[in-house]
Structure 1
Amino acid sequence: MAEERRSAGAPGGAPTLGELLEEAMAAVAQARAALAAGEVPDLEATASLVDRALAALGEATAEQLPSARLKLLGLLDEVSALVVGATGMRDRLGGQLADLGTRRQAIAAYAGNRGRG
């Protein structure tokens, strides 16, 4: 019965594997676009959708399995690349913040020395 609801995509039924894969692919594309725009993507939500699709793989039919496996492997590779990209962004931003902190300290020290002189 649950299989019929899933395959029919009936309202109130669990999402099908295909629907979960589509959601995960859309989330990965959105995260990739955010990263390309210099924004921090929501990788936790993206990974959660990929996890849901991965969990649904156990219920895939024999016909769905090869294609679904390939799509999921591709999604996992893309999520890994997003994590690397976001980590690089974090490191660059961290370096910029450290530079700003150093400059702020230098300005404060200069202003303090000027006031004393």
Structure 2
Amino acid sequence: MSVLWVFLHLLILSWEDMKDQMLSFWLLLELLLTGLLTALWNGREIVWFPGLFLLVVGKLSGERIGLGDGWLLLALGMWLPYGMLMEILFLGLLAGAGYGILSGKKEIPLVPFFTVGFVLTVWGTII
């Protein structure tokens, strides 16, 4: 059930990112808080580092990487273990970089690529 919850949020956020290059604060907050409550309830470890790192990089780079992407990774860290989150980050950045190079675009929405990374990572664990 939690996989579906996260996936639905990723789909909506992907659409927002492609359309407006902005992410809904309230949707990110909902994903983060429900993940935090679920993690605390289940005694699961919360993964802070990747999201916080991306927020710092985004701030230091003048938001060349959007702060919304950092907040999304922070929210995903409430739901996913470190290894899965790093795999999603790696796959998303790799796919996004490939798309940027092939399309010649300098600014691309990252959330759709994180969503692809999520699907590939979750699919790989299910199989």
Q: Taking structure 1 as the reference length, what is the TM-score of the superposition? A: 0.32
Q: Taking structure 2 as the reference length, what is the TM-score of the superposition? A: 0.31
